[in-house]
Chains A and B, each alone.
Chain A
Amino acid sequence: MSEPLVILEAVRKEFPKARQSALEGLSAVVRPGCITGLVGPDGAGKTTLMRLMAGLLVPTSGTIRVGGLDPIQDAEKLRELIGYMPQKFGLYEDLSVQENLDLHADLRGVVGAERTEVFGRLLAFTDLARFTDRLAGKLSGGMKQKLGLACALLGHPRLLLLDEPGVGVDPISRRELWKMVHELVGQGMAVVWSTAYLDEAELCAEVLLMNEGKLLFAGQPGELTGRMKERTWQIRGAAGNRRQLLARALRRPEVMDGVIQGHTVRVVLRAGAERPDLGELEAGPGAEWTAVAPRFEDAFIEALGGGPGGDSVLAQRMRPVTNEGGVVVAAAGLTKRFGTFTAADNVNFAVKHGEIFGLLGPNGAGKSTTFRMMCGLLTPSAGTAHVLGMDLHETAGLARQRLGYMAQKFSLYGNLSVRQNLRFFSGVYGLSGERQQAAVAEMVEVFHLEPLLDTSAEALPLGFKQRLALACAVMHEPAILFLDEPTSGVDPVTRREFWTHINGVVERGVTVMVTTHFMDEAEYCDRIALVFRGGIIAAGTPDELKALVAGPANANPTMEDAFIALVQQHSTDGGAA
């Protein structure tokens, strides 16, 4: 094994005014010639660690050596050694592709004949040669990402730091970038790639798995998933309701974690536990266990102490929503233009009572725009949006009483306390007096908010912010729940807990519409629509969509495979604008 390029010893970082330290005594190494994945949810300390290695922050204690240099003492020499792409790529949006490259080349002293040669190589490598005159702000997410990478690569860095390069980028571009970075490590570069996507972790040669400033695991991802060997199973061919089956499975002590995957239920067993009897799980006569490959996420959940169980206290408290039958949410020819840009283009779908309907697509595809039109927050340029048979632009007030909305990034009032947020949102939804007090008290109990009642919302840990946002959206017992990227950035255990609640309330008759860019979360949905560049390119149950792309090359495709194949089909059909 090669000599490590970066050595971290007991690195600790504290920020003034923070509740806990951002990094707690982290020791690890980064080796040249491979990709080291820095993996963890938001708030894990990934960006802090990146910045420490880049000499942009000073560690509170501990030592860092990058190529033998101290990032603070030898800052000038260090900068010749590293290429750094910050989040959002660090590009000047009002400069063209060529001007961005020129700037970074001048800053890094890439001049003369070398410069011509390097530009030619990088432009060919990133496939940006056709776009050199285009302003960086007018590039798609994927192209920005490649330009950011090209800028970071100028001046032959030995260490390349990429901070969340996959955020805001469609899955196809993510895969392309991944291939490009693989070529680089082949030339002996050390690459640190930070990500919140656990499926990316499996592709790294080495991973540093982090959560809340602590290092949970360092090593090869296979070593971690290897611990889960023979513990991951799928229940196939089960009869009846798969959400209830999952809940029953999660109640069993042998089961550590479980998720819905299309028509099957995937279960992770505790170490040394036997599979529970399918009869006892009431899975039906045709049900059978099938072994499936363990995933990195399974190991992460075990490292965090296992999943949350299958019962939603929230759902148990909710009154059942009476079935009003048929379609409750419908979009017809829904279109939204912002100037010359069409954010949503002729979107059509219908959601039936008691369904989970998902909009799946990368950031910027038009999910949130569609969503905001459905909730009456944006006026469509064309087409109609109906909720419970009401047009939101005519009966907005009446319709909004019956729907709950959880906005992207949790639209809580950061300066208000938890108690004040609960009171405010219940008031906004028309609760008052005893009903309001009862509703607030119930949410406090269900989501264990009692000790945090007087904490301001912005100071809450991410998981509690998410719980509070959900509480605010469901307090008035809506018939329809709109959830916009509800699990973005949170750790997998909190995500499980969240889906347990969603599954629970759906069983009580609530209809749920959800957007997500996590491909695997789409599996929880009864039906999903794939959104790409403003339009729906395919819709159906998760199994139907996966079946569309299954073939001899890939008999058992994942949701991401399906998405990529469908986008490519769509583009070659000439359908993409």
Chain B
Amino acid sequence: MVSWRRLRALCRKETWQILRDPSSNLIAFVLPVIMLFIFGYGINLDSSAVRLGLVLEDHGPEAVHFAESLTRSPYLRVRPAATQADAAADLTAGRTRGFVVVPGDFGERLQRPTDEAPLLVVSDGAEPNTANFVQAYVSGAWGGWQLQRAAERGEPPPAGLNLDARFWYNPSATSRNYLVPGAITIIMTVIGALLTSLVVAREWERGTMEALLASPVTRAELLLSKVLPYYALGIVSLFLCVGVAVVVMRVPFRGSWWVLWGIGSLFLASSLGLGLLISTTLRNQFNAAQAALNAAFLPALMLSGFLYEIRSMPPVIRAVTMLVPARYFVTAMQTVFQAGDVWPVLIPSALFLGAAGVFFLGLTARKTRRRLE
């Protein structure tokens, strides 16, 4: 069925085309690097250095001591205000995300151990995520200061739970470390589905497919000549991205390279399969690009759990994510990067990705005709 001479000739042709076509180059080499840096540096789910207003109504030593400890916190950038009204004005104008009021009787009430919390924390509820950060950071700083104060005085620490939080696998809880593996998923999707759907549709539009079909090329050769070069391109791009992530962006990589290669190959199979299926059916670059964006890129971005937590989605959507190959690849990539070769996570993902690859490539093979209709 397959003549190596013809297959080699077709693959060589495809390689020249990839290397010479500016738009393929853009999608295969420039876009991945840009996306990697956008997701790596442009998007940051950590809220470091929250701008916080501070109103000191008590100027006693305790209050000043607490103010100093707030100012020293790496998570806060303190902007002092004279009155509550000034601090409120800063908040309204967006100069701060919240403010803390140390009331006039702060020092006094601290001396009475039975009294209630003497601090007022105001935050911007229009941005709930940031507001939570403000509250958490201030109470953290407050707790820390109390412990420190007790130690300095030789008193027992104040009553209540003493939380000691540790983030495993990503000890500094840097969001880049899990966004970058997700970004690689998006890049693989773009190369696998978008690029292949465009190149095959282009062959139909330019009439070169018709010339090929009139030659002795077989169906298997036609299909393989599209799968193999783009598979190679995808794998090169995968290792390029991981290399940049590890070497330049200092994202930790704890798994093994051959597992990365294996999982990457399975995901590419499903995404190439989808891209080829789209272009074989539509035969028009514009429609193919639209379909690839909707069928591959958007689900990979929104339903893979890479940006949006799957567990917080409504049950119906959660069920839909089960069918998105990118979801399994995101899980596998985050595991390989941050936790290592954890087989109980990787094997189910690999099984699903393999099944999706067989499904899409099989459907493409069925749809590939040796004729125009």
A residues near B, CB below 8 A? 51, 54-58, 75-76, 79-80, 82, 84-95, 99, 102-104, 106-109, 111, 135, 151, 161
Verify A92–B208 contact, CB threshold 8 A: yes
Verify B6–A88 contact, CB threshold 8 A: no
Asked if B62 lies at the interface with its beta carbon under 8 angstroms from chain A, I say no
A101 → B minimal CB distance (Å) = 11
Verify A56–B371 contact, CB threshold 8 A: yes
Given contacts A106-B5, A107-B217, A109-B5, contact A86 B16 (CB under 8 A): no
Verify A87–B207 contact, CB threshold 8 A: yes
Closest 5 CB pairs of A and B: A90-B211, A106-B9, A84-B214, A86-B210, A94-B20
A111 → B minimal CB distance (Å) = 7
How many A-B pairs have beta carbons closer than 8 Å: the answer is 81
Query: Which chain A residues lie closer than 8 Å to B210 at the CB level?
Result: 51, 56, 84, 86, 90
Verify A88–B13 contact, CB threshold 8 A: no
Given contacts A86-B207, A107-B6, A111-B5, contact A79 B215 (CB under 8 A): yes
How distant is the Cα of A234 from the Cα of B8 in the complex, in angstroms? Answer: 62
How distant is the Cα of A90 from the Cα of B209 in the complex, in angstroms? Answer: 8
Interface string of B41-52 (1 = CB under 8 A from A): 000000000000
Residue of B10, B20, B212, B215 with most partner-chain A CB within 10 A: B215
Verify B373–A58 contact, CB threshold 8 A: yes
**Which one of A80, A88, A99 lies within 8 Å of B16 (CB-CB)?**
A99
Verify B9–A88 contact, CB threshold 8 A: no
- Can you list 7 contacts pairing A with B, beta carbon distance less than 8 Å? A58-B373, A75-B370, A80-B216, A103-B13, A107-B212, A107-B216, A135-B20
Verify A94–B17 contact, CB threshold 8 A: yes
Given contacts A57-B372, A58-B371, A84-B211, contact A94 B16 (CB under 8 A): yes
How distant is the Cα of A84 from the Cα of B210 in the complex, in angstroms? Answer: 9
Verify A90–B16 contact, CB threshold 8 A: no
Residue of B5, B17, B210 with most partner-chain A CB within 10 A: B210
Asked if B213 lies at the interface with its beta carbon under 8 angstroms from chain A, I say yes
Verify A51–B372 contact, CB threshold 8 A: yes
B212-229 residues with Cβ-Cβ distance < 8 A to A are 212-217
Asked if B166 lies at the interface with its beta carbon under 8 angstroms from chain A, I say no
How distant is the Cα of A58 from the Cα of B372 in the complex, in angstroms? Answer: 9
Secondary structure call for the A interface:
mixed
Query: Which chain B residues lie closer than 8 Å to A93 at the CB level?
Result: 206
A59 → B minimal CB distance (Å) = 11
Could you tell me how many residues of chain B have their Cβ less than 8 Å away from some Cβ of chain A? 27
Give the nearest-CB partner of B20 in chain A.
Answer: A94
B202 → A minimal CB distance (Å) = 10
Verify A79–B216 contact, CB threshold 8 A: yes
Asked if B21 lies at the interface with its beta carbon under 8 angstroms from chain A, I say yes
Query: Which chain A residues lie closer than 8 Å to B371 at the CB level?
Result: 55-58
Verify A151–B16 contact, CB threshold 8 A: no
B214 → A minimal CB distance (Å) = 4
Give the nearest-CB partner of A161 in chain B.
Answer: B214
Give the nearest-CB partner of A72 in chain B.
Answer: B371
Verify B17–A107 contact, CB threshold 8 A: no
How distant is the Cα of A93 from the Cα of B6 in the complex, in angstroms? Answer: 20
Give the nearest-CB partner of A82 in chain B.
Answer: B214
**Which one of B12, B208, B213, B215 lies within 8 Å of A108 (CB-CB)?**
B215
Query: Which chain B residues lie closer than 8 Å to A91 at the CB level?
Result: 208, 211
B198 → A minimal CB distance (Å) = 14
Verify A92–B13 contact, CB threshold 8 A: yes
Query: Which chain B residues lie closer than 8 Å to A79 at the CB level?
Result: 214-216
Query: Which chain B residues lie closer than 8 Å to A56 at the CB level?
Result: 210, 213-214, 371-372
A380 → B minimal CB distance (Å) = 28
Query: Which chain A residues lie closer than 8 Å to B373 at the CB level?
Result: 57-58
A142 → B minimal CB distance (Å) = 18
Verify B214–A54 contact, CB threshold 8 A: yes
Query: Which chain A residues lie closer than 8 Å to B372 at the CB level?
Result: 51, 56-57
Give the nearest-CB partner of A106 in chain B.
Answer: B9
B342 → A minimal CB distance (Å) = 44
B229 → A minimal CB distance (Å) = 14
Verify B216–A88 contact, CB threshold 8 A: no
How distant is the Cα of A296 from the Cα of B187 in the complex, in angstroms? Answer: 59
Extra contacts besides A58-B373, A89-B207, A107-B217 (17): CB < 8 Å: A51-B210, A54-B214, A55-B371, A56-B214, A56-B372, A57-B372, A58-B371, A76-B216, A80-B216, A91-B211, A92-B17, A103-B9, A103-B10, A107-B6, A107-B9, A109-B5, A161-B214
Query: Which chain B residues lie closer than 8 Å to A135 at the CB level?
Result: 20
